[in-house]
Structure 1
Amino acid sequence: MVFGADKVPEIARGLAKGMRTLKDATNDIKNEITKSAEKNGLDSSITKEIGDNLKKVKDDLEDFTGSVKRKL
């Protein structure tokens, strides 16, 4: 993809905001699952699996944004 130099900061801010939103949502989801599992006496180890999957998504996004940053 090719963007004009004037659009790069805007794109970077958008990506950073999206990553922050994803991280916040991830933490909220993990907390809700853990609370619900503990409340119902269930094994909360599922939160580790969910966390691992979400970390993979985060790592993939960081790989992508890293390549964008390198091209600046």
Structure 2
Amino acid sequence: MFGIGGGEFVFIIFIVLMLFGSDKIPEFARSLGKGMAQLKNATNEIKTEISRSAKDSGMDLDSLTGGVSEEIKKAKEEINKSINPLENIASDIQNPIQKAKEDIENITGPIKRQM
């Protein structure tokens, strides 16, 4: 939480209690909670206003962010390919190995039966 350890948090609580007293702390916490709620409501109102104005002007925010999301996904795949090149090689090698196993089974089948 903000890079504050447990001991530091207890020390801060102790200082706050010494400065404001135990009777002022609930008042302070209540006003802090109201302020945070107002900030959250204001942020949500701004988001909806931006979405509404973009929709009125004919812009589709989903298509704009969708394109960015696709590009990020492609970049992640390319990075994974460059970091783990053996992963792709393993799948490329497994198919011919499986085919070779099947061919050997087909060839040795009649030989096994003759013995």
TM-score range, shorter chain: 0.5 to 0.7
- Measured in 2, the distance between the counterparts of 1:40 and 1:7 equals 50
Over the aligned positions, Cα root-mean-square deviation in angstroms equals 2.0
* 1:16-72 residue CA offsets vs partner (Å, 9 max, x unmatched): 000111111111110010000111023536xx8xxxxxxxxxxxxxxxxxxxxxxxx
TM-score under structure 2 normalisation?
0.36
Asked if residue 41 in structure 1 is aligned to residue 58 in structure 2, the reply is: yes
- Greater helix content: 2
Contact persistence 1:33–1:44 (CA under 8 A): no
Point out 4+ residue stretches in structure 1 off by more than 6 angstroms.
none
Which structure has more relative contact order (CA 8 Å, sep 6+)? It is: 1
Equivalent AA in structure 2 for residue 42 of structure 1? M
The equivalent of 2:38 in structure 1 is 21
| 8 Å CA contact 1:37, 1:44 repeated in 2 | yes
Task: Tell me how many residue pairs correspond in the alignment.
Answer: 46
Q: Provide the secondary structure at the position in 2 that maps to 1:41.
A: coil
* 1:42-61 equivalence runs, <5 A: 42-44=59-61
Tell me the TM-score normalized by structure 1.
0.55
Q: Which amino acid aligns with 1:36?
A: S
Structure 2 gap ranges (5+):
1-15, 66-115
Give the gaps of 5 or more residues in structure 1.
49-72
- 3-state secondary structure, aligned to 2:61: coil
